[in-house]
A = this chain, B = another copy of it.
Amino acid sequence: MLENLKNKTVILASQSARRQELLKMIDVQFKVEYIPDLNEDYPKELDITEIPLFIAKQKQEAYKHLWSVEKNIVITADTIVSLKNKIIGKPTDKNEARKILKQLSDKTHLVVSGVSIKSNNKTSEFYSTTFVSFKPLSKKIIDYYVENFNTLDKAGAYGIQDWIGFTSINYIIGSYYNVMGLPIDKVFDNLKNF
């Protein structure tokens, strides 16, 4: 469908298996290049909705050797989970995962993804917001999830496409795929311009 990309090389600068899966679903050929441990600091005065895009743009600086080359297009992204205007990060261990899920229980939180797409002569930058409402999560539900699934690599300690997403989410407002880590409908629209 995106014929304009036929002679281009799309590079997804993310190690997230979920982002790779989403980009495949819109029939884009791409390769993955990932530089670990990039700076994810941001100015304290930013609004929650501005933070992921700020980080995505900052990440692009590290990929300049790729997007400054003709025909290359680099995609960087960052996703945060926020509850009551406070950022909920990735848990460092199972105990913290349980604590985070207890916080999210019976509440609606916000997921924000920021995306930067860059070539040698074009830039697209955008973000997407989704509200996610969790049912009350019993200790049994939380323990089962944390013991049987990998929560440590996930902001907010959950994957919407995992067991807990099927059993325990009431509703969402926004893009489902944004919660998975990439607002793929906006990526599709913005790739048309490259």
Contact = CB atoms under 8 A, between A and B. Distances in A.
A26 interface: yes
Interface stretch (A69-77, A118-126, A165-173): A165-173
Contacts of A185: 135, 166-170
Given A1-B144, A176-B176, A184 B167 contact: yes
A138 to B, nearest CB: 10
Most buried by B among A140, A163, A167: A167
A63 interface: no
A144 B188 CA distance: 15
A27 interface: yes
A167 B144 contact: no
Interface string A152-194: 0000000010010011111111111100000011001100000
Contact of A167 (B166, B169, B170, B188): B188
A26 B168 CA distance: 10
A169 B128 CA distance: 13
A26 B184 contact: no
Interface string A87-131: 000000000000000000000000000000000000000000010
A9 to B, nearest CB: 21
Contacts of A27: 163
30 contacts: A1-B141, A1-B144, A1-B167, A22-B166, A25-B163, A25-B166, A26-B163, A26-B166, A26-B167, A27-B163, A130-B171, A135-B185, A135-B189, A160-B176, A166-B177, A166-B184, A166-B185, A166-B188, A167-B184, A169-B175, A169-B185, A170-B175, A170-B185, A171-B173, A171-B174, A171-B175, A172-B172, A172-B175, A173-B173, A176-B176
